[in-house]
Amino acid sequence: MNKIKEIFKSWNIALNPNEIQSKLASQRIEICNSCEFKVENLSFNQCSVCGCALKSKVFSPVKGACPEGKWDEIDNVMEDKIFIQIASYRDPELVPTIRDCIAKSKYPERLTFGINWQRDENESLEEFANDLRFRIIDIPWNKSKGLCWARSLIQKLWEGEKYTMQLDSHHRFLQDWDEHLIKMMDMTGSPKPIITAYAGMYRPLDNILLNHEPYKMVASNFTPGGTILFRPHGIPDWEKLTSPILARFVSGHFFFTLGIHCDEYKYDPNIYFAGDEISLSIRSFTLGYDLYHPHYTVVWHEYTREGRTKHWSDFTKEAQDAGLVEKPWWEMDDLSKRRLRHMLQEEDNNIDLGEYGLGTVRTHHDYERYAGIHFKYKKLHPDTLKGIDPPINDDSDWYQLVEEEYNIILNIPSTADFKFIYIGIEDEKGNILFRQDLTEYTSQIIAKFKSFDKPYKWIYWPVNMNNEWINRIDTVL
């Protein structure tokens, strides 16, 4: 923050400070009153080093603003501070998420928030306007350029905090979540750990947490665009675990790591949406970060997107023709996927990625061996598909194996008042080979999929309108 901006913000806060700001100012002025650099003038007291009037200086929103470092201890300058990154797009859950994050934190005074607020006219963050902990980028929704563009701007708000946590804008939290995650970092024994997962599920309407078992991220398949689709998979026997487990992927909606990640992993603003998570995974790994899933649930996420406007729903050709947006979403997405495929070395698109390329601590091949992925052939190792923990380290020609194609006709039992029906096919060991969620009833589907393993049974499992799983039926094939 430049000096003039800091002065104006200090005076503004001094006129109407909140409780936290008043408490911090009182602690700062107590130090200033005994400082050898304090100068007493007729009209006001002044710092002889920076020249500022103390009655406004003590309300500075900048941590460690004392030029002699005398406020550092009470400001808790960056020690155990957590920089929380939230990219929000027209989301009514943003404010409830922030409130719950603060309320459930053991040390809320140690939190700082970097928020890219892509808002519409019905939203307000007024309650946080004078809170020292918040750095907010205010952007009208139609000026947005996509997810990774938003996150790249947030990273620039990092001011050296020891830790960072990236979230979406629709979450709930475990009590003392900050203490839990820092302890998990220490448990790993890694100098550069990332704690990440597909978070648990919650229901915004009544803040009900729908599950407590922790999830790992499991790869499902490559898409035609070159990225990988992921699904949450429950961690077996998680109640017996005492520390985080190794992961191969990083979730874009929840990871916790060292703050320096904001500087080392620079978000490519040209990645639109798809590909964010595989980019996070391979680039962080090659930068020397070790990936872990938490062994119990700390954060919950809202997956349905109900009540939220999607970026791609707004950025249409019709909106472009009306002059509302610069370009439709698929134009951004096309460039994005070309860059992604080049970075993953699936194809050579003659693109200079610059600072958005891979790290140098580990190689592209190191990640492929660790994760069980062959990007050029767009193949996933059988153990990767099953969600078996890394590392894989299979140096055989496994990527030449051919999966068998299946077309299985499934007759679907009828049910009333369901939110969705989970249809799954598993092998004899319980590994999921196929999944489809029906949001509208149909009496029959054809499950088309490829697998190295033979299907054993299929599962019919509805979820009612209260988000409760009911009436599961397992049928051997």
In a domain, 129, yes or no: yes
Ranges assigned E (strand) in 302-350: none
Looking at residue 1, its pLDDT comes to 60
Is residue 71 assigned to a domain? no
395 and 415 fall within a common domain: no
Note whether 240 and 180 are within 8 A (CB): no
Is the separation of the CB atoms in 399 and 377 below 8 Å? yes
Q: What pLDDT sits at residue 61?
A: 87
Residue 173 and residue 82 share a domain: yes
CATH value at residue 409: 2.60.40
What is the three-class DSSP state of 435? strand
- Where a domain ends, among 34, 62, 90? 62
Residue 205's pLDDT is what? 87
State whether 419 and 312 are in the same domain: no
Question: Which residue segment(s) compose the domain that 314 sits in?
Answer: 77-401
Question: Domain for residue 252, yes or no?
Answer: yes
**448 and 333 assigned to the same domain:** no
Residue 446, in any domain of the structure: yes
Are residues 396 and 408 both part of a single domain? Answer: no
**pLDDT value of position 131:** 93
Residue-averaged pLDDT of the chain:
93
Assess contact for 4 and 56: CB atoms under 8 A. Answer: no
Domains identified in the chain, total number: 3
Tell me, yes or no, whether 101 and 54 share the same domain: no
Kindly report each contact of residues 325-331 with a partner whose C-beta sits within 8 Å and lies 24 or more positions away, as own/partner: 325/142, 329/146, 329/272
Q: What is the pLDDT of residue 358?
A: 98
Question: Residue 21 has what pLDDT?
Answer: 85
Last residue of a domain, one of 350, 366, 401: 401
70 located within any domain? no
Rounded CA-CA distance 175/444 in Å is: 44
Last residue of a domain, which of 350, 372, 401?
Answer: 401
CB neighbourhood size of 435 (10 A): 15
**Domain shared by 289 and 324, yes or no:** yes
Q: Which of 35-39, 196-200, 358-362 has the lowest mean pLDDT?
A: 35-39
* Whether pLDDT at 78 is above 80: no
> pLDDT by residue (tens digit) across 87-119?
999 999 999 999 999 999 999 999 999 999 999
Residue 293 and residue 361 in one domain:
yes
Residues 230 and 260 in one domain: yes
In this structure, is residue 38 part of a structural domain? yes
CB neighbours (10 Å) of residue 75? 22
- Domain membership of residue 68 (yes or no) is no
Same domain, residue pair 51 and 124: no
| 2 token code pair | 């430049």
119 and 17, same domain (yes or no): no
pLDDT confidence tier of residue 76, bands split at 50, 70 and 90: low
Helix/strand/coil (H/E/C) assignment for every residue in 278-306: HHHHHHHHHCCCEEEECCCCCEEECCCCC
For 240-269, what is the mean pLDDT? 97
User: What pLDDT does 113 receive?
Assistant: 98
Instruction: Classify residue 366: in a domain, yes or no.
Output: yes
Q: What percent of the chain has pLDDT over 90?
A: 80
Same domain, 199 and 54: no
pLDDT at 314 > cutoff 90: yes
